[in-house]
């Protein structure tokens, strides 16, 4: 079966869900309670992995209410979940732009994800699979800082 969500072992929280029949995005919840200090970035686990078809990716985007209501932004603007990232856990990246610590509670719907298709160039010869995320494909002499 292509294109579906699975729980990471031990996660009992909510699965991604669309709020209405016409919503494009699946709301995704935090799997753990995390406190983000002002000006700091945190990676938030979701308890979820996503299985994708060939030439598909899953796009993570913010919820429109997050900056004003929670003082949180996604510093990478959008997160791209590649199909060969499976079976790793989808992580959300958040920056606290306020001047007080922000608490993200387990179960809070912190972002949304949209299934998307991509194309490749005719003369593309990319090979192999990724081993993880967040800089896993960097070359040895490429800084990840
Ligand atoms: O917000 C995000 C962004 C990415 N990822 C995971 C899925 C994605 O497939 C992988 C790599 O993401 P990307 O290619 O954007 O990051 P990179 O910094 O280029 O790392 P890599 O060298 O691992 O590709 O990290 C997340 O869980 N959340």
Q: Ligand 1 center to residue 132 CA distance, Å?
A: 8
Does residue 35 belong to any structural domain of this protein? yes
pLDDT at position 1 is: 67
Other beta carbons within 10 Å of 57: 19
Find out whether the peptide bond into 87 is cis, omega within 30 degrees of 0. yes
- Tens digits of pLDDT across the chain (145 residues): 689 999 999 999 999 999 999 999 999 999 999 999 999 999 999 999 999 999 999 999 999 899 999 999 999 999 999 999 999 999 999 999 999 999 999 999 999 999 999 999 999 998 988 887 777 777 766 665 5
Q: Which atom of ligand 1 is nearest to the CA of 85?
A: 9
Does residue 143 belong to any structural domain of this protein? no
Euclidean distance between CA atoms 38 and 140, whole angstroms = 32
| pTM of the entire predicted model | 0.91
DSSP state of 89: P
- E strands, 4-75, are 4-7, 26-29, 34-36, 41-45, 48-51, 56-62, 72-73
In which domain, by residue range, is 8 found? Answer: 4-117
pLDDT at position 141 is: 65
Considering its fold, how many domains does the chain have in total?
1
Euclidean distance between CA atoms 18 and 27, whole angstroms = 6
Q: Whose CA is nearest to atom 6 of ligand 1?
A: 133
pLDDT at position 143 is: 60
- CB-CB contact of 61 with 94 (8 Å): no
Lookup: tokens for 25: 């995005």
Q: Ligand 1 center to residue 85 CA distance, Å?
A: 8
Q: Ligand 1 center to residue 135 CA distance, Å?
A: 7
- Residues lining ligand 1, CB < 6 A? 60, 76, 79-82, 85, 90-91, 93, 130, 132-138
CATH number at residue 110: 2.70.40.10
């Amino acid at each position: 079966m292509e294109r579906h969500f699975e729980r990471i072992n031990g996660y009992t929280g909510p699965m991604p869900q669309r709020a209405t029949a016409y919503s494009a995005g699946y709301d995704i919840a935090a799997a753990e309670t995390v406190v983000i200090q002002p000006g700091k970035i945190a990676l938030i686990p979701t308890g979820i992995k996503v299985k994708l078809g060939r030439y598909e990716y899953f796009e993570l985007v913010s919820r429109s209410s997050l900056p004003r209501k929670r003082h949180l932004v996604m510093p990478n603007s959008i997160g791209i979940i590649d199909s060969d990232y499976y079976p790793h856990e989808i992580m959300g990246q958040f920056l606290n732009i306020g001047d007080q610590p922000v608490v993200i509670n387990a179960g809070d719907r912190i972002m949304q994800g949209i299934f998307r298709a991509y194309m490749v160039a005719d003369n593309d010869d990319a090979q192999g699979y990724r081993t993880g995320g967040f800089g896993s494909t960097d070359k040895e002499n490429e800084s990840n800082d």
